[in-house]
Amino acid sequence: MAKTAIRIENVRRVYSSRKGFLFQEKVESEALKGVDLTVDEGEIFGLLGPNGAGKTTLVKILATLLLPTSGKASVLGYDVATQARELRPHIGLVLGGERGLYNRISARENLRYFADLYGLPVADRERRVEEVLRKVGLSGEETRRVEEYSRGMKQKLHLARGLLHSPKLLFLDEPTIGLDPKSAREMRKLIRGLVDEGVTIFLTTHYMFEAEELCQRVAVLSKGRIVARDTVAGLKRLVGGDRTIEIESYGLDGPEVARLKALPGVSHLTSEDFGPRERVTLRVRGNDLTHDLLTAALPGHRDLSVRERPTSLEDVYLDLVEEAPE
């Protein structure tokens, strides 16, 4: 039984901001509406969710940069709200993006500064800075100003900074956002390497394939609530159906869609307008549903197009997010 690295119990977070100038109006928005989650030591856990779901909010709470409005969260046994000082030396946070670095100075000076802030022994500092630079593949670029760095290089530098003090647990908020496919692949390889070294990783992403490729377990966050949490395989079973069938045609009416839903093995159905045509997507369990049964359910549709493919995590994710309550 693995030890628990992160425990989140009923965490809520409300942001309040002000609108207007003289007569300010207080606006409140609830970014997290009671989140429960546990992450084991040594695993790589993925938090999936669309824009505005609350992923960054949750990561910041866990990384002691934001206080929960209510609820409790502990990381490596430390309470994030009351034991932040004790926790900070053990965790790393990579928020990524264009900001968050001192652009006017070199990458090496950036890392030296943060090595000092993390209290690395002075005698080890240079060695450790070179080490993390090598690890993320920035050796040879360390004397250039960060403002000359490409997006991908900055992302690597963010990761290098997060690794300086050899944290036991690393939070990665959308580590591959804005990276070209090649750089994103390199980044994922780096992340896998870290897990092999025993680092626990909590990462957020929009990309299903990324979670599918990297994570043992994932949770889906939508509108501030966890709508699913499971292994990748379990998640696919959860929404049901290892087969996905897409049907496109002109003018599929209500009774016809209802007939499709009643077909054997169909566990889930979504329909959307697709230009002048309509597309119905079915999640199907087992092999009872045949092509003949399908066409029989839609008599008179000569223009029918039917495509079948294995259900991907992407499909599951979209189903979950669409069904999420307000």
Partner 1 sequence: MSAPVLRPSFGRTMFASLRLSLHMFLADPQWVIPSTIAPVMFALAAFEIYRGSGPLLILYAVLGAGMMSMWGQTIYGSGWAIWQDREFGTLEPTLGSPSSYLGVIGGRVIWNALSGLLGGAIVVLVVGVAYGQPLPFQAPIVFGLLFAFVILSLAAVGLVLASIFVYTRYAGFIQNVGEFAFYIGTGAMFPVILLPFWVTPFSLVFPPTWVIDALRYASIPGYHGFAWGFTGDIVGAVVTTALYVGIAASVFRRVERHVLEVGNLDEY
Ligand X SMILES: Nc1ncnc2c1ncn2[C@@H]1O[C@H](COP(=O)(O)OP(=O)(O)OP(=O)(O)O)[C@@H](O)[C@H]1O
Residues that bind ligand X (CB under 6 A): 15, 17, 29, 31, 49, 51-57
Is 166 a residue that touches partner 1 (CB under 8 A)?
yes
Please say whether the beta carbons of 170 and 91 come within 8 A.
yes
| Binding test (CB under 8 A) with partner 1, winner from 121, 254, 255, 299 | 121
Please say whether the beta carbons of 265 and 286 come within 8 A.
yes
Backbone phi and psi for residue 206, each to the nearest 5 degrees, phi listed first: -95, -15
Q: Tokens 């991907």 label which residue?
A: 312
Which is closer to partner 1, CB of 69 or CB of 312?
69
| Binding test (CB under 8 A) with partner 1, winner from 3, 15, 27, 185 | 15
Choose among partner 1, ligand X, Mg ion, none what residue 132 binds, the Cβ cut-off being 5 to 8 Å by kind. none
- Least spacing, CB of residue 92 vs ligand X, in Å: 18
User: In the structure encoding, which two tokens stand for residue 315, read together?
Assistant: 């499909």
Q: How far apart are the first and last CA of the chain?
A: 36
| Binding test (CB under 8 A) with partner 1, winner from 55, 154, 161, 188 | 161
| Binding test (CB under 8 A) with partner 1, winner from 39, 44, 63, 320 | 63
Choose among ligand X, partner 1, Mg ion, none what residue 182 binds, the Cβ cut-off being 5 to 8 Å by kind. none
- Least spacing, CB of residue 68 vs ligand X, in Å: 13
Backbone phi and psi for residue 82, each to the nearest 5 degrees, phi listed first: -105, -15
CA distance 4 to 204: 19
Which is closer to ligand X, CB of 49 or CB of 152?
49
Q: Which residues contact 258 (CB under 8 A, 6 or more apart)?
A: none
| Binding test (CB under 8 A) with partner 1, winner from 26, 85, 182, 302 | 85
Is 137 a residue that touches partner 1 (CB under 8 A)?
no
Report the helix count and the strand count for the chain, using DSSP H and E: 11, 14
3-state secondary structure of 285: coil
